[in-house]
Amino acid sequence: MKLRRLLLVVLLVGGFWYVTTHLPAGLKQVSLFGGRGSGSPLELTEAHAAPEYDAEEQNNIAVYKRVLPSVVNITSTSLVFNFFYGPVPQQGQGSGFILDKAGHILTNFHVVEGANRGVEVQLSNKHRYSAKVVGTDKTHDLALLQIDAPNLQPVTLADSSQLSVGQKVFAIGNPFGLAGTMTRGIISSIRQVRGAEGAPIEDAIQTDAAINPGNSGGPLLNSHGEVIGINTMIASNGAEQSSGIGFAIPINTAKAVLADLTRYGQVRRPSLGIVSYPIGPDLAEQMGLNADSGVLIQKVIPGGAADRAGLRGGNEQAYVGNTPIMLGGDLIIAIDGQQITDPQDISAVMDRHQAGDTITVTILRGRRQMNIKLILGEARGVNT
């Protein structure tokens, strides 16, 4: 009886071995439990070597590797009052970039605004440093920070005066706290826009490169990895995320204020010392002016640059709609040979100068055209 059982076991084992090793492939896929296999063995196709990058990809990678060590993540902490919990810390995040080996960092003013409990900077190597706010410029939404850290890698600043719509650009920053993120696009337009505080940003760079919360203060780069702008805001229609319309402050605007921020801790913005009103073709014709457009001086600020140079304000009140204006003053039509049509043109000129610079103002006084040398003063209050 035992011998029969042993022979049965041997036959079963021998039969299983024969079926699994000698029958055709199709029959092998019959399962002992009545099921079927996949129908064919799994075969993977693998690359024999890493793929070669095309020229555009190589440039993208080169720009990222070159600039990433210069881009920082900025965390600002402020103490706010909560009705239930009392004073509680609140943090905001943004980006910035290293200007020099001394540790100066440029970012947006709104990134560090109200940071009464300190500002912290994280480098791309994950090291963190406490930052000192050297100076701020609320009008241009710029802030200059400084950290004490070794082996810093500064960015290269480009000239933003010769940019073209259609030009390829890159943005590197920390959107939604995702450090070291790069996006790309083109320059969609170059236009004047209103900043968060309502002040105009002249020649703002509009781009479709994805810019989101956390990108603020980070660099906008050309295809050589040079900084052409500071990413500052998005047009999101309330969605608070990229809609393909982002804006950057041109780097030339920042260059104009950096010296003052370093030296004084604030911008000594130059000023003509006037209260002005823009004159267009229709109004110029009604007023009988000998020009199609310009900026009418309504009032000269006593002791200001225009006052010292002998420019004249208005002496006769009139109304444009419900707006009172003063007529009879000088009409500014050019500064240093550049046509002036509205106060924004004057602001653009001021961005290229500092208090104490000498400019030539071309005016119409009645029907007489005059060129007057003027030494720029320092802005006080809301005058131009």
Write down the number of H helices and E strands in the chain: 8, 22
* Whether the Cβ atoms of residue 231 and residue 208 lie closer than 8 Å to each other: no
Residue of 76, 95, 141, 330 marked active site: 141
Which among 71, 67, 74 has a CA at the least distance from the CA of 131? 74
Residue of 70, 95, 216, 271 marked active site: 216
Regarding beta strands 270-271 and 377-378, do their DSSP bridges make them parallel or antiparallel, or are they unpaired?
A: antiparallel
Q: Is 216 a catalytic residue?
A: yes
In three-state secondary structure terms, 357 is: coil
Q: Which residue has the tokens 């009139």?
A: 318
Q: Is 140 a catalytic residue?
A: no
* Whether the Cβ atoms of residue 158 and residue 228 lie closer than 8 Å to each other: yes
* Whether the Cβ atoms of residue 243 and residue 237 lie closer than 8 Å to each other: yes
* Whether the Cβ atoms of residue 90 and residue 80 lie closer than 8 Å to each other: yes
DSSP state of 266: B
| Cβ atoms < 10 Å from Cβ of 155 | 22
| Cβ atoms < 10 Å from Cβ of 120 | 17
Q: Is 141 a catalytic residue?
A: yes
Residue of 110, 140, 160, 188 marked active site: 110
User: Could you list the active site residues?
Assistant: 110, 141, 216
